[in-house]
Amino acid sequence: MELSVKQMDPEEFGRQRQEVLTAWPTGKEVDFDEAVAYQKELPAAKVMAAKLAQGKAKGVTYAQPRAGVALISEHIELLRYLQDEGGADLLPTTIDSYTRQNRYKEAQGGIEESRSIGRSMLNGFPAVNHGVMACRRVVESVGVPVQVRHGTPDARLLAEVTLAGGFTDFEGGSISYNIPYAKDVPVENTIKYWQYVDRLVGLYEENGVRINREPFGPLTGTLVPPSISHAVGVIEAVLAVAQGVKSLSLGYGQCGNLIQDVAALHTLPLLAQEYLKKLGYPEVMITTVFHQWMGGFPQDEAKAYGVISWGAVAAALGKATKVIVKTPHEALGIPTKEANAAGLRTTKQVLNMLRDQTLPQTEELTLEEKMILRETRLILDKVLELGEGDMAVGSVRAFQAGVIDVPFAPSRFNVGKILPARDTTGAVRILDFGCLPFDREIRDFHQERIARRGRDEGRDPSFQMVIDDIYAIGKGMLVGRPRG
């Protein structure tokens, strides 16, 4: 199949489907027409796209945790706890690492080991191994929509099983679940895998079932310049809509400077709408997702609550439709259900207190928005130019050329030349532009802001600043200053 942004032809989809559904025995539980009928019977309160549309109209920010364990009844107990004791507005099912790598045999081993030891030996819920009926038990046990969250380069079977299983939202995308997660998978391959997932969602849509799709916004974490993650989000939005997706949540990971974070939340849906329209796609529903701090966390739980709260503030003031919540156990690993619920309660307290407040549209905020818009457009226009109008082809070439370059990504298909650093206010700027297609004015802006930090710290801007920024939060700070 030649790479193109165009909708997959039905023959190609059917051919792949045979292969996908026979990769593990539970694939044969998938009966598309029956699954459509099942999805149609779900009450509106359990349909993510419907609930997000409601939240967007009301201007509220919903809170969603991450959570997943190996066994079905324990997973249900966990989700119920987060709903009832944490007040989660939306629920996840985080998938384990074996499943993310299509290693279903090893996931099966993890299930059996968990059964015999009596605690979860997997870092998530192995939905493919458990199968369609088990997913339905999960969905039927709670009162709010449930989303699949993972990090899978090839999620075709996972999507088939979980969507037939009644999940109404599927996270991930061809770039966002490849470049930050895999070392050796070509972008061209993941674009094709994810076109299958998006086409599947498109088929549900054509049969009257709306499934929400959410590209993974934060990429590698807290030092990704907003224009880079926005460019990836818009590309994945275009690729999804081309396959028939009608409901999208676009994500952004907290950088830590409030004005920059709010500017990023304001501009993300505007850019997606702009490029969808420019490329002639139909209008779709777009909501935003804000990720609380995706970097290192303090071990001290009291300090962790501070980090969590600051993320809740940015999500609320930026009017994100949803915030993905961290827990006081973030520095330690997978949280207990109590710690997970505590992170939710902290977040909801802040969201409730700020629900009627917005950040005033100051000159500074407008300037941040203007810079993010300009930078993202320069990247996206170059992607389209490289692809001769085709976003899929352009994306592959853009990664080759370093026109899109994700800092700190493990993928060998990412050039890895750019270096971000914080300015003196903690906003993420670019120290080394690598091959980003930015003009003089943008480069001067970044350089000037980083130079100001250098003057404040009495040192020349250098790679040391980048290192200091990475370790700063562990020392209780946002900006990595010399001598704390």
Q: Which of 46, 51, 66, 156 binds ligand 8ZB (CB under 6 A)?
A: 66
Q: Which of 334, 384, 393, 409 binds ligand 8ZB (CB under 6 A)?
A: 334
Decide whether 187 or 325 has the Cβ nearer to ligand 8ZB.
325
Residues forming beta bridges with residue 249, ordered by sequence position: 287
Q: Is 94 in the site for ligand 8ZB (CB under 6 A)?
A: yes
Neighbour-count burial of 434, counting CB atoms closer than 10 A to its CB (0-12 exposed, 13-18 middle, 19+ buried): middle
User: To which residue do tokens 């107990």 refer?
Assistant: 77
The minimum distance between CB 217 and ligand 8ZB, in angstroms, equals 11
CB 48 within 8 A of CB 168: yes
Residue 407 is assigned to a ligand binding site? no
Classify residue 432 as exposed, middle or buried by CB count within 10 Å of its CB (0-12, 13-18, 19+).
Answer: middle
Binding part of the chain for ligand 8ZB, among 61-69, 100-108, 200-208, 444-452 by CB under 6 A, reads 61-69
Least distance to ligand 8ZB, CB of residue 69, Å: 7
Give residue 386's identity as a one-letter amino acid code.
L
Count CB neighbours of 74 within 10 A. Answer: 16
Does 398 interact with ligand 8ZB (rule: CB under 6 A)? no
CA 101, 407, 467, 258 dihedral sign is negative
Q: Which of 55, 68, 225, 420 is close enough to bind ligand 8ZB by CB under 6 A?
A: 68
Judged by CB under 6 A, the chain residues 162 through 221 that form the site for ligand 8ZB are: none
The answer to whether residue 124 forms part of the interface with ligand 8ZB (CB under 6 A) is yes
Q: Which of 29, 160, 171, 236 is catalytic?
A: 171
Determine if residue 446 is labeled as part of a ligand binding site. no
Of the residues 17, 100, 422, 449, which is catalytic?
Answer: 100
The order of strands in the sheet holding 62-64 is 62-64, 322-324, 285-291, 247-253, 212-214, 169-171, 146-149, 91-94
Site track 290-329 with ligand 8ZB (rule: CB under 6 A), x = hit? ------------------------------------x---
Which segments of 178-228 are extended strands (E)?
Answer: 212-214
Amino acid at 85: E
Choose the stretch contacting ligand 8ZB; rule: CB under 6 A; options: 63-71, 206-214, 244-252, 312-320. 63-71
Going from the C-alpha of 118 to that of each of 104, 170, 259, 332, 448, the distances in angstroms are: 20, 29, 47, 21, 57
317, 355 in Cβ contact below 8 A? no
Question: Nearest distance from residue 215's CB to ligand 8ZB, in Å?
Answer: 13
How many separate helices (H) and strands (E) can be counted in the chain?
Answer: 17, 10
As measured in angstroms, the least distance from the Cβ of 95 to ligand 8ZB is: 8
Among the listed residues 301, 330, 375, 423, the single contact to ligand 8ZB using CB under 6 A: 330
* Interatomic CA distance for residues 184 and 414, integer angstroms: 10
Of 445, 484, 478, which is closest to residue 261 (Cα–Cα)?
Answer: 478
Closest to ligand 8ZB by CB, 180 vs 437, is 180
CB of 328 to ligand 8ZB, least distance (A): 11
Asked if 100 is an active-site residue, the reply is yes
When asked if residue 335 is in the footprint of ligand 8ZB (CB under 6 A), the reply is yes
Evaluate whether 205 touches 223 at the Cβ level (below 8 Å): no
Q: Does residue 336 belong to the site contacting ligand 8ZB (CB under 6 A)? A: no
Q: How far is the CB of 334 from ligand 8ZB (least distance, A)?
A: 5
- In the chain, what are the helix, strand and coil shares in percent, each to the nearest 5? 50, 10, 40
Q: Give yes or no: 171 in active site.
A: yes
Nearer to ligand 8ZB, 334 or 436 (CB): 334
3-state secondary structure at position 429: strand
Q: Which is nearer to ligand 8ZB, 270 or 332 (CB)?
A: 332
Q: Are strands 212-214 and 169-171 parallel, antiparallel or unpaired?
A: parallel
Residue 88 contacts ligand 8ZB per CB under 6 A? no
How far apart are alpha carbons 416 and 228 in whole angstroms?
A: 13
Residue 378 in the binding site for ligand 8ZB (CB under 6 A): no
| Cα–Cα distance for residue pair 200/343, rounded to 1 Å | 34
Per DSSP, the three-state class of 18 is: helix
Under rule CB under 6 A, residue 153 binds ligand 8ZB: no
Task: State the nearest-atom distance from the C-beta of 71 to ligand 8ZB, in Å.
Answer: 12
Task: State the burial class of residue 52 (Cβ atoms within 10 Å of its Cβ: 0-12, 13-18, 19+).
Answer: buried
When the beta carbons of 210 and 337 are compared against ligand 8ZB, the nearer one is 337
Query: Count of residues binding ligand 8ZB (CB under 6 A)?
Result: 10
Please report, in range form, the residues annotated as the binding site for L-glutamate: 66, 100, 149-150, 171, 177, 181
Catalytic (active-site) positions: 100, 171
Q: Which residues bind ligand 8ZB (CB under 6 A)?
A: 66-68, 94, 123-124, 326, 330, 334-335
Please report, in range form, the residues annotated as the binding site: 66, 68, 100, 123, 149-150, 171, 177, 180-181, 297, 326, 330, 334
